Amino acid sequence: MQNIIWAEKYRPKTLDEIINQKHVVERLKAFVKEKNVPHCLFAGPPGTGKTTATLALAHDIFGEHWKSNLLELNASDERGINVIRGKVKDFARSKSIGEFPFKIVMLDEADALTAEAQHALRRTMEAHASTTRFFLICNYSSKIIDPIQSRCAVFRFKPLTAEDIKAFLDRIIKTEKIDIDDKAIDTLIYLSEGDLRKASNILQSAASMKKTVTEQSIYDVVNQAKPKEILDLINLIIKKDFKSSRKQLYNLLFMQGLAGEDIIKEMHKQIFELNVPEEKKILMTKIIGEYDFRLSEGANELIQLEALIAELMTVF
C-alpha cells in the first residue's frame, strides 16, 4: 500500500472529473471558455469539492504552469492582517506565467479570517483586480463580510449523494484491490455524511488495519456510536427502564470509550426514525439540544448524560 493519502491520490485533476456539483462545474467551465474568471466564493459543507474545484480550474486555465500561478493559503492557520498585507500582496504584485494576465489566490477556510483581515482583503482585491483573482473557500458564507461577497461570484456546494460517494469508493476499492463487504460500504456512506474526503480517509485507515474491511473494522477506526446500540438505548428510555438504559450508557462510555458528544449526535439522528408521535420527537430534540450545549460548555459528561436519560423518560 503506497504511503499516500487516498483523498489526495484520487482527487479530480480537471473540472470534467469532479463528482456531482454540475451546477458549479458548468459555470466554471464557462469561465475557462471565456478565458476570464471573476473573484469567487465557494461555500458549502466539508469534503464536497470546494478546494478541488479551485485546483481543477487552475489546472484547466494555466495548464502546466498552474502551480506557479496559484497561491494556496489556509486562513485558519494564517488568519491575521499581516498575511493579507504580506504574502497575498507580494504574490499579487508579481507577473503571471503564461498567456493569462492574472493569477489565482486561494484562501481556504476564509470564514476563519478576522474582520480586520477581511477588510484588508477587500482593499487588496480592489487594488489588484487586474492581475489577481481571489478564490475564497468557506463552510459558512455568512461569516464573510458583505463587501467581499458583493465582489465575488458565489457558488454553493451541496453534500454528495450516497450514489456519488459509492461510485468514488468503488473506484478506490477496485484500484487498491481492497476486500470489503457491502455492509461496510453502506456504513462508510452513512458515517461520511456527504463528505467524500472523510469517506476515503476512513476507508484507508480501515484497510491499513485489516486485510478484510468489515462494518466492525469501520467502527473501530472512527470510534463512533453504532446506530443499533443508540437505538437500543432510546428504546430502553421509551420503556422507562432507567437501570438498563444507564447500564447501556456505561457500556458506550466506559467499555467502548465513546465521547458523550458522539452519543448525543447519534441519538439526535435516531430520534427521527422512531415510531412515536411528532410532538414527542420535538420535545426529545429540544432536550437533546440543551444537553449538547451543556457538554460543549464543559459540564461533567457522565452526570449530564444520566440527566439526559432521566429527562427524556419524562416525555413518555
pLDDT digits (tens, 9 = 90+) for 226-266: 888 999 999 999 999 999 999 999 999 988 888 899 899 99
Q: What local confidence, expressed as pLDDT, does residue 67 receive?
A: 85
Please check whether the two domains, 6-156 and 162-222, share a CATH topology: no
Q: What is the pLDDT of residues 94-125, one digit of tens each?
A: 767 767 778 898 888 888 888 888 888 888 88
Report the pLDDT value the prediction gives residue 4, as an integer from 0 to 100.
76
What confidence score (pLDDT) does residue 1 get?
Answer: 44
Strand order through the sheet with 132-138: 70-74, 103-108, 132-138, 40-43, 153-156
Tell me the average pLDDT of the chain.
87
What's the CATH class of domain 6-156?
alpha beta
The answer to whether the CB of 138 falls within 8 A of the CB of 46 is no
CA 133 to chain centre: 25
CA distances in angstroms from 133 to 25, 37, 104, 157, listed in the order given:
18, 7, 5, 20
- pTM for the whole thing? 0.78
Domain boundaries, the chain: 6-156, 162-222, 227-313
Fold designation for 162-222: Helicase, Ruva Protein; domain 3 (1.10.8)
Strand partners for 108: 74
Q: Write the single-letter amino acid at 214.
A: T
Q: CATH number of 227-313: 3.30.360.10, 1.20.272.10, 2.70.70.10, 1.10.150.120?
A: 1.20.272.10
